Structure 1
Amino acid sequence: MTPSTDERFAAIRDEFGPDSLARVEEMIAPGGMPRHPLQAGAKWILPGISQKPWHDPRSDPGIASLADALEGAHASIASEHESAWRTNRTAFSDYEHYLTRQDDWQSLHLYRDGALIEDSASAAPTAYGIIEDVAVGNELICPLLESHFSTLLPGSRIAPHCDLWNFSINLHFAVDIPDDCDLTVAGETRTWEEGRCLLFDYSFEHSAQNRGTRPRTCLLVDLWHPETTIPERQALTVLVTRVRQLMGEGR
């Protein structure tokens, strides 16, 4: 860690107690943490987080409130996205994952770089409002990551990979799902049910495919893992932000 990071960590310990960052310190200690073999590609594994690939989106009250809000507004969200896709394609862009960029994987961001994307409010007002009021307003969203409409074009595939860590968790809200689409996490394949949410730990190896004849769209929201604490979230935000600055990354 750098001196500025050490100072921020010390301030968090002063507020929350000397042991409040013990798991974060263990995570960044030399040698790293033991992990499930299917988490081998992740950079950081916070100890004490359940090594469980799939989660029930109703098991945590905060995440359940977001899932309920999205599912209750499915018709409006789907209609607004379809209109934007048809009439405002310039609002979408190739999705840039930390490992790759794909032109057959299109995105419309609602939240990124720690802030809402105000330009997206007119294209997707219902989803934008829910992300603003519930995910951001209740501090469920991980400010290190994002929320975006994820559209896989027909015949596209997201290759198996692990995301960077286990202290956030990925909510998939199924907006428009053709036949022959699926998501595989840690070797278990599931299909999206239109208008419903799936929740999984993307530090486990995962992949997705659209073998259908029209685009597949989900709204993705990167949330804090519910098993993390407030001081840990503060420290992890400081840590990852500083690492990105040192690496010259924009986010």
Structure 2
Amino acid sequence: MQQSADMRQDAQDAAAALHAGRHREAAEKFAAALARDPRQIACAIGLAYACKALGDRAAQERALDHALALDGRNLHALIMKGDLFEADGDSAVAGKWYSVALRVAETVGQLPAQLAQELARIRERKSRLEEEYEARIRQTLDEAGFPSIQPDSRFARSLDILLGRREIFVQEPKRYYFPGLPQIEFYDRLDFDWVPTLEAKTAIIRGELEALRAEGDSFTPYLEANQSGPVTHHRDMVGNDDWGAYYLWKDGRPVEDHVARFPETAKALQDLPIPRIEGTSPNILFSRLKPGASIPPHNGLINTRLICHLPLIVPDGCGFRVGSQTRPWVEGELFIFDDSIEHEAWNRSGKERVVLLFEIWRPELSETERAQVSTLLSSIGVRTSDG
């Protein structure tokens, strides 16, 4: 009991000394209080402030490490730790500490005025550090003979990740994961020799679609309730025709009367590397997004396929994100992307957006692997239209 009272008295005396500018006395009192009760994070922070005023960097860092061991989210300690490294001239490490402090601050409610000012200071400083860091990188690349980097190249994207401007997204299929496949968000459509021929038939395919649309609304909700299992999708999208579908093939079976209405579309797709897996694939459909509708971020079921979009009707205000890349649809230009990576779509226009959606084998899979995957997916009953 007496030891606790002595600790409190030391802490009060230390705080008074610190406020009065008697930094040596404050440091000694805070250290004494911590010796009596090492759990007192306020004393560790006070000790760090006193040591900073005394110019004792080593003691200040020890006090901060003590505080952070007690609470790794303490904003005072995180900010001061960053300041330590900036004073040492290590701006890269300082920026990391500032980043953590700013992220923690986003999760905290109202902050004291002084702490809010400190956060504003390090936010501005972090911005300058990032600019200086990028300038040094650009200068190094320029001097090495790389004055310009092709936008959206793999190296350009790696720079964005390094500089904190782009998140890292990876394959996270909900049902079946095949390891060892490259993490590519959008594939280059020109790497597939069949693409130009298909794109050249855009007007014909759109014509068949327009004939259907002229007869009224034949689309059904893309996501339908699965009566045999739990709902694993965004619940507000299940049964919602904001995201509609008109299937030609679904879960490996043709919708005969629909296919009959789209003979040219069927012909255009017949020689493509589309998976044919009993009960699973192909899935070929017209995907509609109503005006003002959006598809929330989600991941597909498997990563052994790629999804293709042939944009047919695309008003202004539509967009599509896969992982860290966002692109607009362009009518007649195919998208090929990995839907096992998080993706989302939106239509902020006043008109419908419609694409022809189908799946193809990932080109990295061998014929043997495709046969193995086909047998497996068919046997376990994966319905990829659910994704």
TM-score range, shorter chain: 0.7 to 0.9
User: Is 1:43 matched up with 2:181?
Assistant: no
What corresponds to 2:215 in structure 1?
A: 87
Gaps in structure 1 of 5+ consecutive residues: 1-35
- Equivalent residue number for residue 201 of structure 2: 73
Q: Shift in Å at residue 128 of structure 1?
A: 1.9
> Following the alignment from structure 1 to structure 2, what is the Cα–Cα distance between the partners of residues 73 and 188?
27
Q: 1:126 maps to which residue?
A: 264
Q: Out of 156, 163, 167, which is 2:293 matched to?
A: 156
Count of residues in correspondence between the two structures? 205
Distance 1:53 1:216 in 2: 22
Give yes or no for contact 2:296–2:345 (8 Å, CA) kept in 1: yes
Alignment pair present for 1:225 and 2:359: no
* Distance of aligned partners of 1:142 and 1:207 in 2 relative to their CA distance in 1, 3 Å threshold: farther
Q: Which of 226, 243, 248 in structure 2 is aligned with 1:110?
A: 248
Question: Residue 58 of structure 1: SS of its match in structure 2?
Answer: helix
8 Å contact kept, 1:142–1:224 = no
Give yes or no for contact 2:243–2:287 (8 Å, CA) kept in 1.
yes
Q: 1:43 to 1:191 in 2, by over 3 A?
A: same
TM-score by length of 1: 0.74
Higher strand fraction (1 or 2): 1
Q: How much does 1:125 deviate?
A: 2.4
Cα distance, 1:96 vs structure 2? 2.0
Which amino acid is the alignment partner of residue 333 of structure 2?
Answer: R
In structure 2, C-alpha distance between the alignment counterparts of 1:110 and 1:43, rounded to whole Å: 24
Q: Deviations over 1:90-127 (max 9, x none)?
A: 3x211127725231111111222223332113432221
Q: Structure 2: how far apart are the matches of 1:191 and 1:151? A: 15
Letter in 2 for 1:111: W
**1:143-190 deviation per Cα after TM superposition (whole angstroms, max 9, x unaligned):** 323011101010111100111121100111011100000100002110
Distance 1:41 1:235, change over 3 A: closer
- Identify the residue that residue 306 of structure 2 maps to in structure 1: 169
Q: Is the 8 A contact 1:142 1:222 kept in 2?
A: no
Report 1 or 2 for greater relative contact order, CA contacts < 8 Å, sequence distance ≥ 6: 1
**Which residue of structure 2 aligns with residue 8 of structure 1?**
none
Larger Cα Rg: Structure 1 or Structure 2?
2
Structure 1 stretch 230-239 or stretch 145-154: which is displaced more?
Answer: 230-239
Contact between 1:41 and 1:161, CA under 8 Å: does it hold in 2? Answer: no
Give me the whole-angstrom Cα distance separating, in 1, the residues matched to 2:386 and 2:191: 34
Letter in 1 for 2:190: R
Higher helix share: 2
Shift in CA distance, 127/215, structure 1 to aligned 2, threshold 3 Å:
same
Q: Choose from 335, 342, 347 the match for 1:210.
A: 347
Letter in 1 for 2:274: L
Conserved? CA contact 1:244–1:250, under 8 Å: no
* 3-state secondary structure, aligned to 2:271: helix
Partner residue in 2 for 1:184: 321
Structure 2 residue 195 is the aligned partner of structure 1 residue 57: no
TM norm structure 2? 0.49
Identity of aligned residues (%): 29
Residues 173 and 303, structure 2, Cα contact 8 Å, conserved in 1: no
